[in-house]
Amino acid sequence: MKVFSAVTFVLLVACVRGESAVTDGLSVEDMLDRCMDGRHHKTQPGPEGSLYNQCAPWKDRACCRASTTEQLHQPLWLNFDWHHCGQLSESCERHFKQDLCFYECSPNVGPWLVPVNMQIRNERFAGVPLCATDCNRWWTACKDDMTCSGNWGVSWNWTSGQNTCPHGAECRTFQDYFGTPSNFCRNIWNGSFEVVDDSAPCFTQWFNGTNPNDRVARLRAEEIVSARGGAVTSASAPRLLVVAIFIAMGLAMGLDFLN
């Protein structure tokens, strides 16, 4: 009984938490002033005197620190080995570094944050609209390089402390694993990006000067708030009810699960 109720407790909490988006209840400005809750991210975006090498474009307003940008240019940032099927080409590696700068530094992903439960972070971004041109360049740089996975977000053997190819996962070209640029950009990080036509509001990982993604994030944040309309309270009511029922259950069980 104790084990059962402890499990129920965990599942219920996960369920209640899982339903809520990180953006719930946030104003447009709050969504635009957020950094991902990750191991190396700052709590809020702000200026950095200078950022290292490929991360420099984010220096005016960044979620990363200078030290982070220097370290992520070294191998095995977050214990992740890009070269799991031999060395990536230099141009492909440059794109993955830029993507890493975006991951650590971008102050624009607030509207796309969702909760996750991982060692390296409590949030991830999902479905960030990447411009087709950006995606195509990344793909062109990498398509003839080798990998053993069509989803770098999930399919690894981490036993050794860094990602290695699990038994049976063959090293083949990106072309073989992903087929098309949009499959590649969508699946490489388990749905972190989706690819949209350049004529729609979309993100680029490459820019100089003013961050062009600011405008795109604001549009999305405004969309989220206006879609909410007056439904905020009624949308959170069922969740509160679940919590209330659950607390009542817990009390009825004499809080067994806490023992």
- Give the binding-site size for ligand NAG (rule: CB under 6 A): 13
Q: Which one of the spans 2-10, 134-142, 204-212, 235-243 is the region binding ligand NAG (CB under 6 A)? A: 204-212
CA dist., res. 224 & res. 127, Å (int): 14
CB closer to ligand NAG out of 127 and 201:
127
**Site for ligand NAG contains 201 (CB under 6 A):** no
For 174, other C-beta atoms within 10 Å of its C-beta total: 23
CA distance 123 to 17: 12
Q: How far apart are CA 239 and CA 168, in angstroms?
A: 43
User: Which residue from 206, 225, 235, 250 is in contact with ligand NAG, where contact means CB under 6 A?
Assistant: 206
- Is the distance from CB of 95 to CB of 141 less than 8 angstroms? yes
CB 104 within 8 A of CB 56: no
Min dist CB 21 to ligand NAG, Å, is 13
Give the x/- contact pattern for ligand NAG in 100-119, rule: CB under 6 A. Answer: ----------------x---
Judged by CB, which is closer to ligand NAG: 31, or 131?
Answer: 131
Give the residue from 61, 67, 125, 133 showing the smallest Cα distance to 95: 133
* CA angle, 69 then 97 then 211, to 5°: 70
User: Whole-angstrom Cα distance, residue 108 to residue 210?
Assistant: 13
Confirm or reject binding of residue 167 to ligand NAG (CB under 6 A). yes
**The CA-based dihedral angle spanning residues 133, 188, 205, 173, taken in that order and rounded to the nearest 10 degrees:** -60
If one asks whether residue 50 binds ligand NAG (CB under 6 A), the answer comes out as no
Q: Which amino acid is at 95?
A: H
Kindly indicate which of the ranges 12-20, 63-71, 203-211, 218-226 contains the residues binding ligand NAG, using the contact rule CB under 6 A: 203-211
Q: Does residue number 191 form part of the binding site for ligand NAG (CB under 6 A)? A: yes
Draw the binding track, 139-158, toward ligand NAG (x: CB under 6 A; -: no contact): --------------xx--x-
> Does position 208 bind ligand NAG by CB under 6 A?
yes
Q: Does 160 bind ligand NAG (CB under 6 A)?
A: yes
Give the residues lining the site for ligand NAG (CB under 6 A). 116, 153-154, 157, 159-160, 166-167, 190-191, 206-208
